[in-house]
Amino acid sequence: MIKPVGSDVLKPLFVYDPDQHHALMREAETLPSVVVSSQAAGNAVMMGGGYFSPLDGFMNVADALSVAETMRMSDGRFFPVPILCLVDEVSALGEARRIALRDPNMQGNPVLAILDVAAIEEVTDEQMVLMTEKVYRTQDPKHPGVAAFQSQGRFALSGSIQVLHFSYFQDDFPDTFRTAVEIRNEIAERGWRRVVAFQTRNPMHLAHEELCHMAMERLGCDGLVIHMLLGKLKPGDIPAPVRDAAIRKMVELYFAPNSAMVTGYGFDMLYAGPREAVLHAYFRQNMGASHFIIGRDHAGVGDYYGAFDAQAIFDEEVPEGALEIEIFKADHTAYSKKLNRVVMMREAPDHTKEDFVLLSGTKVREMLGQGIAPPPEFSRPEVAQILMDYYRSLD
């Protein structure tokens, strides 16, 4: 199986030993504590599950700035985006060397992790601007990722962490949430050697399904890991439980046994386009995938990124040798009326736009909301039914 990034072994930060976990939970109740942002909580969950291995905690400002500019930390280690714990207020923390980090997304703000404080630094406006510009390629406050990043505090807590809880992800999605450790183990148990990963924050329509089949066939893969984001999205996106149900139905009916795993990870969407695509590839290598599908406008939003910027960044900006995972570069896929099958649009040069079954997201939402199933050339009827039931429930 492919090695984790920068290491021979995965380094999850969750404390699995029950006695140590119990002792740390008791200790946490005696420590100064702070409720972190949702983005920082997601970072902790990802580090706990080994997805961000070999990071051992939150970056300091120097490392975050270096990563934003060069995708390398001060010591040369590769990482695609700053992993920060930004808070509004630190006066109550005093001179504490250990701090309990509390979850903003669960009732009662339970302890998420314990931080060994290396530094508490104030981030300047200029530093926030630099990181925002480098990671998101825009300062526009209407960009949902920029808005979320800029809404955090300006005090960076850095240091190693011991993760004690996987937030609401393990509780709310017990059948889907998986750590990188668990996915690696299941890949090994299934006997897969070449594994392609598919990222999604949306239900999968016929074109997505066929793209996965296409990638598996062309790459000679034993298995597919459909890896869905379970964290916060922008308003209007379909919630995770509905996506989960729709994807599971598709796999049940249209994938061969032991060919696809449906899993999810606990993280808030950044909508950072190219930089987020690199982050996605990074943690897919850590979870054991040898290949990763990146299509048109991967992890994008609005018109902030070019259609294939998320593919180009791997050739133009990712340091050579930083990642071993191979990228399957896909074009937009759609049903061809001429060929009576789903194709990549760039592989059908004799087609015009009218030769494809193309529906906008707005149009599909309107149809589903009215109880009208999209055509079978666009969406499997069983998947469409789950989505129609969801939209009817909103009335």
Mean per-residue pLDDT of the chain: 95
pLDDT of residue 118: 97
DSSP states of 330-354: ---EEEETTTTEEEEGGG-TT--GG
pLDDT of residue 28: 97
Indicate the pairing of strand 111-116 with strand 155-163: antiparallel
User: Greatest CA separation found in the chain?
Assistant: 70
303 is written with which tokens?
A: 């018109």
Which residue is listed with tokens 């209407």?
A: 142
Handedness of CA 212, 217, 219, 224 (dihedral sign): positive
Q: What are the phi and psi torsion angles at 240 (to 5°)?
A: -55, -45
Please determine, for residue 232, whether its predicted confidence score (pLDDT) is greater than 90.
no
CA distance 202 to 244: 9
Q: What's the whole-number mean pLDDT along residues 46-67?
A: 98
- Taking only the tens place, the pLDDT of each residue in 80-106 is 999 999 999 999 898 899 999 999 999
* Helix pair 274-286, 309-316: axis angle to 10 deg: 70
67 contacts 73 by C-beta, under 8 angstroms: yes
CA distance 303 to 308: 12
pLDDT of residue 14: 98
> Domain ranges in the chain?
18-170, 175-393
DSSP letter (8 states) at residue 336: E
pLDDT of residue 360: 81
Locate all alpha helices (DSSP H) within the chain, ordered by sequence. 18-28, 38-48, 61-70, 125-136, 144-150, 167-172, 180-190, 206-219, 240-254, 274-286, 309-316, 361-369, 381-393
CA distance 343 to 363: 21
Q: What are the phi and psi torsion angles at 370 (to 5°)?
A: -95, 5
CA distance 103 to 338: 53
288 is written with which tokens?
A: 């054991």
Q: Which of 170, 113, 162, 182 is CA-nearest to residue 13?
A: 162
Q: What's the whole-number mean pLDDT along residues 131-137?
A: 98
Please determine, for residue 39, whether its predicted confidence score (pLDDT) is greater than 90.
yes
pLDDT of residue 369: 85
Q: What's the whole-number mean pLDDT along residues 338-359?
A: 92
pLDDT of residue 368: 87
Q: What's the pLDDT band for 235 if we cut at 50, 70, 90?
A: confident
pLDDT of residue 257: 94
Q: What's the pLDDT band for 147 if we cut at 50, 70, 90?
A: very high
CATH placement of domain 18-170: 3.10.400.10
CA distance 174 to 40: 22
Q: What's the whole-number mean pLDDT along residues 248-269?
A: 95
Where on the phi/psi map is residue 109: left (φ > 0), alpha (ψ -120 to 50), or beta? left
First to last CA, the chain: 48
197 contacts 292 by C-beta, under 8 angstroms: yes
- Taking only the tens place, the pLDDT of each residue in 164-185 is 999 999 999 999 999 999 999 9
- Taking only the tens place, the pLDDT of each residue in 299-324 is 999 999 999 999 999 999 999 999 99
pLDDT of residue 86: 98
DSSP states of 82-111: ----EES--GGGTT-SEEEEE-TTSTT--E
Amino acid at 126: E
Name the CATH superfamily, with its identifier, for domain 175-393. Answer: HUPs (3.40.50.620)
CA distance 372 to 322: 47
Active-site residue list: 201-202
